[in-house]
Amino acid sequence: MSSSIEQRQTILTRTVLIGMSIVFVTPLIVAFLTSFKSPAEITRVMTLPTQIYWENYAIAFGRAGRTFLNSLLITAPAVVLSLLIGAVAGYPLAYMRGTGGKLVYFILLTGMLVPFQIVQIPLFFLVQRLGLYDTIPGMWLVHTAYAVPFCTFFMRNFFASVPRSMYEAALIDGCGPATYFWKLLLPASGSGLAALAIIQSRAIWNDLLFAITLTTSDNARPATVAIAGFASSLQVEYGPLMASTIVSVLPVMAAYLLFQKSFVRGLLGGAGK
């Protein structure tokens, strides 16, 4: 009796899983197939390509090749920097007692409410005055700065879940609060950092607004600008658009696969209990 219920449940959950997988994957399959269609075939969206049309990938790489490199050069350091700044801010906020720390935390969190579209003009002035307009370090700075509220929020919560006894024991052993952070806390926070790294990689890799505002040339333009270009105002080049989308998804997926193991393992056996 109970095993037949279990069986039925297994069938049910399998069905749900497979059904949902189809829903999730179908739009991507359409995109993938489209990336191999010639312009004449693209007008018939729901058909299979009659031949593999590599030209779309050639166009995507020809026009967006450099921007993929830029995206990598922007994203990898910016993710590291934003994790660092989040950890650096989250650490004292997790351990400070009293109203001062709470106030700072509140104020930083309100940053998550700011719609990014309103900051662009002052931002442009700042970045330009720093001589970082249309440069990759300029993008690092901006992505780090705008990561402050969320990364602080995330890391503070993570640190707060680390047993306080660890901190107090370290201080008693004569370890300074800064040393504790760099030598003990940060190395033990792999899981939290990995989780945040996945979120931040995706956010920074997919940013379009800051990229359009602060870059004008192949010096620093990331792939999202090129992808948006294929979906421009009057004409949409669906073939290269989908080809470049498929290519641009790969690095984020790689980051996901790379960090996911330490992410789950870290949460399982790490500091989080």
**Positions in 11-40 near another protein (CB under 8 A):** 13-14, 16-17, 20-21, 23-28, 30-31, 39-40
Q: Six-digit token pair at 122?
A: 């002052």
Helices 190-205 and 238-269, packing angle to 10 deg: 170
Q: C-beta of 58: minimal distance to another protein in Å?
A: 15
Rg (Cα) of the chain, in Å, rounded?
23
Sign of the Cα torsion 123, 126, 128, 134 reads: negative
Q: How far apart are CA 247 and CA 57, in angstroms?
A: 9
Nearest Cα to 157, choosing from 184, 182, 191, 183? 191
Residue 265 CB neighbours (<10 A): 13
Restricting to residues 160-199, name those near another protein by CB under 8 A: 160-161, 164, 171, 176-178, 181, 195, 198-199
Answer yes or no whether residue 259 interacts with another protein by CB under 8 A: no
Our CB check for another protein shows the closer of 65 and 134 to be: 134
Distance of closest approach, residue 159 Cβ to another protein, in angstroms: 9
Amino acid type, 168? E
Residues 105, 90: contact at Cβ < 8 Å?
no
Task: Give the DSSP letter of residue 112.
Answer: G
Q: Is 247 in the site for another protein (CB under 8 A)?
A: no
By CB under 8 A, what part of segment 73-92 binds another protein? Answer: 73, 76-77, 79-80, 85, 88-89, 91-92
Binding mask 47-66 toward another protein (x if CB under 8 A, else -) reads --------------------
Q: Which of 61, 65, 135, 262 touches another protein by CB under 8 A? A: 135
Element containing residue 148 per DSSP (H, E): helix 136-160
Among 9, 50, 62, 183, the residue binding another protein under the rule CB under 8 A is 9
Residue 157 contacts another protein per CB under 8 A: yes
Helix (H), strand (E) at residue 190: helix 190-205
Q: Which is nearer to another protein, 21 or 54 (CB)?
A: 21
Residues 211-230 binding another protein (CB under 8 A) are 212-213, 216-219, 224-230
Q: Per the structure block, which two tokens stand in for 200?
A: 């931040």
* DSSP H or E stretch at residue 164: helix 164-172
Site for another protein in 94-113 (CB under 8 A): 94-102, 104-113
Q: Min. distance of Cβ 154 from another protein in angstroms?
A: 8
